[in-house]
């Protein structure tokens, strides 16, 4: 067992004594330092069970991935690559740099094994993002990397397609797959782009641009869309119809929730933003099951939201997901969660 896996239970109280966002950056910075040093890298990385799988035409070492949002700028790819993921998704990136919402904007709810964030797509913009991806040794050595694109907060929804087209064009040459984020609750009106008419128009424009880019770069990069857990069955069915009509390769289900039903009365429960962690697991399962009934088998579903142990990863797969992603579970359980999930899914 690596040092990182062995000592995380002792390190977590120290991290939880710090401001959540500060602890986040300190942890990622330490991982990057470890990735850059051969001796530390050997001590911190550990063996991961073999569980190869194919998702969206991509061959993954295992079906356990990193969810978008943890590394918005792609600045920590190599450090996170030590943890044993079969694939990682970074972003969300917007065309122009933006500061996001005022701090504090990230809150822990330990009794619920949850987080609330209202980050607001804080990132350094496409240029810095692409340079970070190009510099990643993990990606150059065959790590499968998804790049997640969004729109700037200052861009009205009527012009949103321009931001997404700019994002797709910039990241396409360097992406193993691209995710279209229309489901963050922290950019005003963004979720309106999940509505049938708006989503159909956006995806049609992106597919047309993807055809042009495929010709120009000589490769077809899979395209996925990330949706919210706060959708009715009717809304999920319409999204599935749009996804099928525009021949997308996958759906990421789901983003964070606006619901507070399971955390009422807890400290920070009334903070604005998206709730992630254990309370989202049941919501995302509902979305995955409904999608799987409507989508053809060749359209992948990546299940994300509230995976805190290996059994919940299995539940996502049994509900119809082809792969899973982790985020909040890593904060509460540590990097051993990756290996536990891979081991369970390998069986």
Residue 228, Cβ density class (10 Å: 0-12 exposed, 13-18 middle, ≥19 buried): buried
- Distance in angstroms (rounded) separating the CA atoms of residues 225 and 69: 15
Exposure string of 258-273, with b = 16+ CB inside 10 Å and e = fewer, is eeeebbeeeebbebeb
Q: Is 259 designated active site?
A: no
- The C-alpha torsion from 329 through 334 and 335 to 339, rounded to 10°, is -70
The single residue of 184, 204, 244, 294 carrying the catalytic annotation is 184
Rounded-to-integer distance, Cα 269 and Cα 277, Å = 13
Spatial neighbors of 190 by CB under 8 A, at least 6 apart, are: 150, 151, 157, 181, 182, 183, 184
Tokens read off for 230:
């706060």
Give the span between the Cα atoms of 236 and 161, in whole angstroms. 21
Report how far residue 89's alpha carbon sits from residue 33's, in angstroms, rounded to the nearest whole number: 20
The token pair at 152 is 């700037």
Q: Contact 60/54 with Cβ under 8 angstroms?
A: yes
Would you name the residues annotated as active-site residues? Answer: 184
């Amino acid at each position: 067992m690596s040092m990182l896996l062995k000592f995380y239970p002792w390190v977590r109280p120290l991290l939880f004594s710090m401001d959540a966002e500060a602890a986040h950056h300190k942890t990622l910075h330490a991982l990057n330092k470890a990735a850059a040093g051969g001796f530390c890298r050997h001590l911190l990385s550990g063996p991961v069970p073999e569980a190869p799988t194919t998702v969206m035409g991509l061959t993954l070492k295992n079906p356990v991935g990193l969810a978008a949002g943890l590394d918005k700028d792609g600045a920590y790819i190599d450090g996170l690559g030590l943890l044993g993921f079969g694939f990682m998704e970074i972003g969300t990136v917007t065309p122009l740099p933006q500061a996001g919402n005022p701090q504090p904007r990230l809150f822990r709810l330990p009794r619920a094994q949850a987080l609330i964030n209202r980050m607001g797509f804080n990132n350094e913009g496409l240029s810095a993002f692409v340079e970070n991806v190009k510099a990643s040794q993990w990606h150059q050595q065959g790590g499968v990397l998804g790049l997640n694109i969004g729109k700037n907060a200052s861009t009205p929804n009527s012009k949103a397609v321009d931001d997404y087209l700019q994002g797709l064009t910039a990241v396409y040459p360097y992406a193993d797959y691209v995710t279209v984020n229309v489901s963050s609750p922290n950019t005003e009106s963004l979720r309106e782009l999940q509505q049938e008419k708006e989503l159909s128009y956006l995806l049609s424009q992106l597919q047309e641009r993807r055809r042009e880019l495929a010709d120009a770069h000589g490769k077809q990069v899979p395209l996925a869309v990330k949706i919210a857990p706060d959708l009715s069955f009717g809304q999920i069915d319409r999204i599935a119809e749009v996804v099928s009509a525009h021949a997308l390769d996958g759906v990421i289900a789901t983003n964070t929730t606006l619901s507070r039903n399971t955390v009422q009365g807890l400290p920070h429960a009334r903070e604005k933003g998206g709730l992630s962690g254990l309370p989202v697991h049941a919501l995302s399962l509902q979305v995955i099951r409904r999608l799987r009934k409507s989508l053809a088998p060749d359209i992948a579903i990546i299940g994300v939201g509230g995976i805190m142990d290996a059994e919940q990863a299995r539940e996502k797969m049994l509900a119809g997901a082809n792969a899973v992603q982790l985020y909040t579970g890593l904060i509460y359980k540590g990097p051993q969660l990756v290996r536990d999930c891979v081991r369970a899914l390998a069986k």
